[in-house]
Amino acid sequence: MAPSADFAQDLAKEEETRLKGKIAKAVETAGGEEQAQAALEARELALLVEQGKSNTEDLSCLPSVHVADIPRSKEPVLLRNDMVGEVKLQLREAPTNGLTYFRAINNLENLPDELRSLIPLFTDAIMRLGTKDMTMEQLEDLIKLKTGGVSVGYHSASQPTDFTQAKEGLVFSGMALDRNVPIMFDLLRKLIVETNFDSPEAALQIRQLLQAASDGVVNDIASSGHAYARRAAEAGLTWDALVREQVSGLSQVKLITSLANRPESDQLEDVISKLKLIQQFAFAGTMRAAITCDSESVPSNTGALSTFLNSVHSPKANFPPPKTRDFTRNIKSFYPLPYQVYYGALALPTASYTSPDGAPLQILASLLTHKHLHHEIREKGGAYGGGAYSRAIDGVFGFYSYRDPNPVNTLKIMRNAGQWAVDKKWSDRDLEDAKISIFQGVDAPRAVNEEGMSNFVYGITEEMKQRRREQLLDVTKDQVREVAQKYIVEALGKQSERVVFLGEKRDFVDNTWAIKEMDINGSA
């Protein structure tokens, strides 16, 4: 097998030939071109009638649970706060069968864009290069033998009381049997502090990481193109969304691809120097930690944590503050990529997690997805998927479509969805179904290591969660219409939205769109 440079053109010709054949067959069967067109139009109208039945069917005869069956309160997760030196520690004491779960976040202020965007490469590199006295194979064997895994990653989170404010940094995590917790901490220290970026093989191994990440990137984007479109759209709304897009969005893909395409003679000195700088400030910020374990393991775990923190103590990193935080983007952005179909998103700013409007917005997203957008975008429009979403902690409401052959129609549906929700005569059953669907996630079982993490990661207290639970249960039809009017209809009127589509550039992409060239292999 060999790739064809003319695949897209050959496919278009083949589809055109098949279409002509089907038209000729329909004309022959009907006895003429006019008769064939009339027959096809009649079939299309019959299909529309059949599709419309899904919005009017009486589902009351089906068995279901009811909102009245959902308890108004939930037993809170009991947490204990302590201090280990100057580090705040959140303790969750629960039966863990002799396991200890650890997570720490090191907040960093004024992190430069050029360093932030290389954090994903840094977290990959420390799991590849090894240290001066241990190869990566030896470290991996020790990780597998003594722990359930350790990891390092980028962290950012908006504030629950104000989604326009956010903090970022590095997050460290690991799990191990209680007796192996000191070894787990030592492995984390070795990986982060002792990784040898000066070894003769470092440049080659980093190049291999870059090439592995860039190989097949066009196909990788296609597998979750709507998620990339959403991140790109949201990046024009808040600072938190902007920095997350730099780390895990199309900006990151473009950066990694450009680094991978450097000539073989390039030793990546500038990249390695920045990775070493990240290594230096990995622990040089405002640290906080969380441990979940059995009660009897708390003393030994806090002692091991104290030893670990003393071993990685660093002066606080001081980066110069940016001149301005400019995250504004074009209202409509288009990324040309070689796909036969499109991936799109429209994002709008809303309200913070603690706002009373958050619960009606979440209900609205569920109603629009299941009562309108799925029907219009997928069933009628032919896309593989489409819907609405509301993320309260990020203060974002949005729409998306996946593998979409009709982007112009989909964008029109998205823009009109708010007014549709305002005009819709919602039934009690509609509201009931939306609430039950949401509580399926709210009340889903949680692993013990996830208990208390919303408080640790985002600052969402048990009181905030209880208040939101009650607000979700009490949402009314009028509230749904009010937030649809305020956050969609009126926001679109003020041009507060950000729209992003990915796919082949065609005639509908006029001068009202900002074209964002990716310059990656296969995107031409």
Indicate the range of 62-71, 279-288, 454-463 predicted with least confidence. 62-71
What digits encode the pLDDT tens for the residues 465-488?
A: 999 999 999 999 999 999 999 999
The pLDDT, as a whole number, for residue 235 is 93
Binned at pLDDT 50, 70 and 90, residue 60 comes out as low
**What confidence tier does 58 reach under pLDDT thresholds 50, 70, 90?**
low
Give the integer Cα–Cα distance in Å for 225 and 250. Answer: 10
Model pLDDT, residue 28? 83
Q: What is the pLDDT of residues 378-410, one digit of tens each?
A: 999 999 999 999 999 999 999 999 999 999 999
Q: What is the model's pLDDT at position 417?
A: 96
pLDDT at 325: 65
Helix (H, G, I), strand (E, B) or coil at 399: strand
Decide if pLDDT at 51 tops 80: no
The H or E element spanning position 414 is helix 407-423
The predicted structure's pLDDT at residue 21: 87
- Kindly state the average pLDDT of the residues 314-335: 78
Mean pLDDT of all residues in 268-285: 92
Examine the pLDDT at 523 and tell me if it is beyond 50. Answer: no
Query: In the block, which residue shows the tokens 């619960």?
Result: 359
Rounded average pLDDT over 424-453: 93
Structure tokens at 434: 């939306």
Contact 501, 342 (CB under 8 A): yes
Residue 31 backbone zone (phi > 0: left; psi -120 to 50: alpha; other: beta): left
3-state secondary structure 125-188: HCCCCCECCCCHHHHHHHHHHHCCCEEEEEEEEEECCEEEEEEEEEEEEEEEEHHHHHHHHHHH
Neighbours of 281 (CB within 10 A): 20
pLDDT band at 1 (very low <50, low <70, confident <90, very high): low
Whether the per-residue pLDDT at 266 is higher than 70: the answer is yes
Of 58-67, 83-92, 199-208, 226-235, least confident by mean pLDDT is 58-67
pLDDT for the residue numbered 524: 40
Percent share of the chain, pLDDT over 90: 73
pLDDT in tens, 93-138: 999 999 999 999 999 999 999 999 999 999 999 999 999 999 999 9
Res. 450: pLDDT tops 90: yes
Q: What was the pLDDT predicted at 55?
A: 61
Block residue for tokens 């939101």: 468
Among 126-135, 317-326, 439-448, the range scoring the smallest mean pLDDT is: 317-326
Residue 422 has pLDDT above 70, yes or no: yes
Rg of the chain on CA atoms, in Å: 27
- Region 335-362: mean pLDDT is 95
Pick the more confident residue, 30 or 444: 444
**% of the chain at pLDDT higher than 70:** 95
Range name among 35-39, 337-341, 511-515 with the lowest pLDDT average: 35-39
Average pLDDT over residues 25-43: 84
Report pLDDT for 328: 67
Taking residues 491-499, report their average pLDDT.
Answer: 95
**pTM for the complete prediction?**
0.85
In three-state form (DSSP H/G/I as H, E/B as E, the rest C), the secondary structure along 262-291 is CCCCCCCHHHHHHHHHHHHHCCCCEEEEEE
Q: How far apart are the first and last CA of the chain?
A: 22
pLDDT tens-digit map of 85-94: 899 999 999 9
- At 207, which helix (H) or strand (E)? helix 202-214
Residue 327's pLDDT is 63
